[in-house]
A = this chain, B = another copy of it.
Amino acid sequence: MLALAAYPLGLQCEFLDRDAATPGGQVAPILVGELDDAQKLKQLAARVDVLTFDWENISGEALAPLRRLTRIRPSPMALRISQDRLHEKALFTKLSIPVAPHAAVDTQRQLERALSRLGLPGVLKTRRFGYDGKGQALIRSGADAQAAWARLAGEALIYEAFQPFSREVSIIGARSARGEVAYYPLAANTHQDGILRYSVAPYSNRRLEKAAAVYLRRVMRALDYVGVLAVEFFVVGGRLVANEMAPRVHNSGHWTIEGCVTSQFENHLRAICDLPLGSTRTLGAAAMINFLGTMPSRERLLDIEGLSYHDYGKAPRAGRKLGHCTILKSRVADRNRALRQVLSLVEWT
């Protein structure tokens, strides 16, 4: 999706990927290698004006030495903080952005102390390499805690008091090197088993959107951020509680391809290439629905008026994000009706 947004801007992409058959290979040259392969990274960095990433579980350590060869945007520092839930929460807290009560857990003793201090229920999570619900365990009892410890021990962990949220929302914005910021309206996200199933946008709540935008700007400024950044929040008792951030284009922003004048992909490219940011004005009531594990019937989905289809060209595999579709309608009621229709046709496997 980055490459598709790049060509019209007159930009050429090249991707480093472990697999030559990656979707990006349909639209750009692929350099095949491990994402922390110093030689391959060096090769890529030497050829490009700017290096970026669309997955945050890559090695900040591997990127750091490339700074002598090319610009890296966003910075390896933003990457490193977002890779560790504890550092992320420390940054949020430093910036007066509310987070769930939490504690670092490296030993069973620390887990016991965290449980007694923060109470039940809560979630034990790995600090690093967690995404799409991986490396998480919900703890409602002492027995749950034992099982969670047995499963996750050995990695740096964090225990968070469970947030009785009414909704999960995310804000996405872009920041240029000059400090110009453009942000999209809130999206309301529905997860299942930790994986985003669908997003509805704009989630119209002026007060929450304003708060989210203020928090997003604070994070961006603190990191001297360049590119697109997403911050996910829980809505708890009408207030935002920051959950995590992603230093990249974000699944909950895929609706911006059709739903906004300028997509998150184009704005990421504009930001990292020192081009003026594009308008984030919305063009209607949108919804984005993920295709997981199996592709739905293209014919039946395309029959829904106002639907755009996105097949990533990936091989099906249980739980794998294979594509998505976006609905764009002028009226919220029509969007909601079409969303229900799509949900009846999409099977998550």
Contacts and interface: CB of A to CB of B under 8 A. Distances in A.
Interface of A: 4, 7-10, 12, 26-27, 258, 261-262, 266, 270, 275-276, 278-279, 281, 283-284, 295, 298-299, 302-303, 305-311, 313, 323, 328, 330
Contacts of A284: 283
Copies of this protein chain in the complex = 2
Contacts of A323: 10
Closest 3 pairs between A and B when the two form their complex, measured CB to CB:
A10-B311, A276-B303, A8-B310
B26 A308 contact: no
A261 B330 CA distance: 10
Contacts of A308: 8, 261-262, 266, 278
A302 B298 CA distance: 35
B299 A275 contact: yes
A206 B26 CA distance: 42
Given A275-B298, A283-B283, A9 B306 contact: no
Contact of A27 (B27, B262, B295): B27
Contact of A4 (B4, B266, B309): B4
A217 to B, nearest CB: 20
Contacts of A306: 261, 279, 281
